[in-house]
Amino acid sequence: MNLNKLKELSILATKKINQFSGNVLRTRGGRIGSGMGLLIEALWGYYINMELEKEDFEIGWFPDHQYNDFVCLRKNEEWNEATKEGEAYRMEVKSMNFGADESKGHFDVLSSEIGKSDLLIVIIWEWVQITKYHSVPKIKDQYIGLAQEVITLRDALHKTRGGTFVAKENCPEQDCGCADNICLYEGEPLNAAGKRERFKGPPSARPSQKVSYAANFGGLIRMLKTSGSDSRKKFRALRKTNASIDEYISFIHRNYLSEEANQYTKSEWNTIASLYNLNTSSLSKKEIIDLVRENVPEYHTALRDNLK
């Protein structure tokens, strides 16, 4: 089961989820903290399984709060979780309510904690009003790609913002009892202030006695923010040279237009407009962006290919 085929099947599954939602999940109002995101993630597992079974694959569910939610298995073959026998790839599903604060959309797993073929699935959903009184949750868009590619982007931009990753030579924990060539906290992210970004990081690097960890690392939207020229250059270089990274950035930007608008300066939006002979004299940044979006269908590609 290759990645492109899974994407095709996921589109079919999503249509069926939205149909089910319209028939069954009708609510009065649309509460943000409703637990609906978890239900949508589970429904994706059930409905993608229906599609996979037609291709002689099926979904396995991981128990006990393991990182990955699901695994794609070859049907009617033995599955050995320890050796990964019978597996095609493992999958972690993240859902984000389009109308809610993004802080819950976190992807902070370390590169060392997942396999090369593990997938990240991000589902954006929203409440849609269908009658005067009733709303339903509806999947708006989705991303499926190799988790390690998103990690490459996340970690590179973390460094450009002054963040670091723990290694034996820079570990803030002085009395952890590690062997000479081992660090218990290898790879844990620290922010620019040297504070840990995950609960599993060095205890001495906690932000305060009241706050265990900073939790700024790995926000599915926030990870794309840049500050300073070095950060912007790294963002653009990775987007231009890595198709998977470009796909993830495009996914976030087409759903969160303000993030895309803020990523590029007025001068850069003007550069894109000039490539297509659009007159931007006396226009504000917002007006230039609106002009580009209205007249250049391929402007995402133009932003990727024409800016440094």
In terms of domains, do 84 and 141 share one?
A: yes
The DSSP secondary-structure symbol of 207 reads: S
Confidence band (pLDDT; 50, 70, 90) for 29?
Answer: confident
Query: Kindly report the CA angle at 177 between 175 and 181, in degrees rounded to 5?
Result: 115
Q: What is the mean pLDDT of residues 163-182?
A: 85
Question: How do residues 112-126 score in pLDDT, each as one tens digit?
Answer: 999 999 999 999 999
- Give CA 215 to chain center in angstroms: 15
Q: What is the pLDDT of residue 69?
A: 92
In terms of domains, do 100 and 142 share one?
A: yes
In terms of domains, do 131 and 11 share one?
A: yes
In a domain, 17, yes or no: yes
Q: Which domain holds residue 299?
A: 226-306
Nearest CA to 107 among 124, 118, 122?
122
Residue 30 has pLDDT above 80, yes or no: no
In a domain, 151, yes or no: no
In a domain, 152, yes or no: no
- Give CA 189 to chain center in angstroms: 17
The amino acid sitting at 15 is K
In terms of domains, do 215 and 233 share one?
A: no
Q: How far, in Å, are 43, 50, 305 from residue 235 at the CA level? A: 34, 38, 12
Structural element, H or E, at residue 273:
helix 266-275
Q: Residue 93 pairs with which residues in a beta bridge?
A: 121
In terms of domains, do 15 and 91 share one?
A: yes
Q: What is the pLDDT of residue 102?
A: 61
- Report helix, strand or coil for 94: strand
In a domain, 175, yes or no: yes
Q: What is the pLDDT of residue 33?
A: 64
In terms of domains, do 69 and 172 share one?
A: no
Question: How do residues 101-155 score in pLDDT, each as one tens digit?
Answer: 665 578 999 999 999 999 999 999 999 999 999 999 999 999 999 999 999 999 9
In terms of domains, do 231 and 220 share one?
A: no
Mean of all residue pLDDT scores within the chain: 92
Confidence band (pLDDT; 50, 70, 90) for 32?
Answer: low
Q: What is the mean pLDDT of residues 22-36?
A: 82
Q: What is the pLDDT of residue 103?
A: 55
In terms of domains, do 127 and 167 share one?
A: no
Nearest CA to 158 among 181, 134, 192, 124?
192
In terms of domains, do 216 and 236 share one?
A: no
* Measured distance CA(88)–CA(216) in Å, rounded: 32
* Measured distance CA(296)–CA(281) in Å, rounded: 18
Quote the pTM value: 0.92
In terms of domains, do 176 and 289 share one?
A: no
In a domain, 157, yes or no: no
In terms of domains, do 17 and 125 share one?
A: yes
Q: What is the mean pLDDT of residues 203-229?
A: 92
Question: How do residues 217-252 score in pLDDT, each as one tens digit?
Answer: 999 999 999 988 899 999 999 999 999 999 999 999
Residue 175 has pLDDT above 90, yes or no: no
* Measured distance CA(165)–CA(9) in Å, rounded: 37
Contact assessment for residue 211 and residue 217, using Cβ atoms and an 8 Å cutoff? no
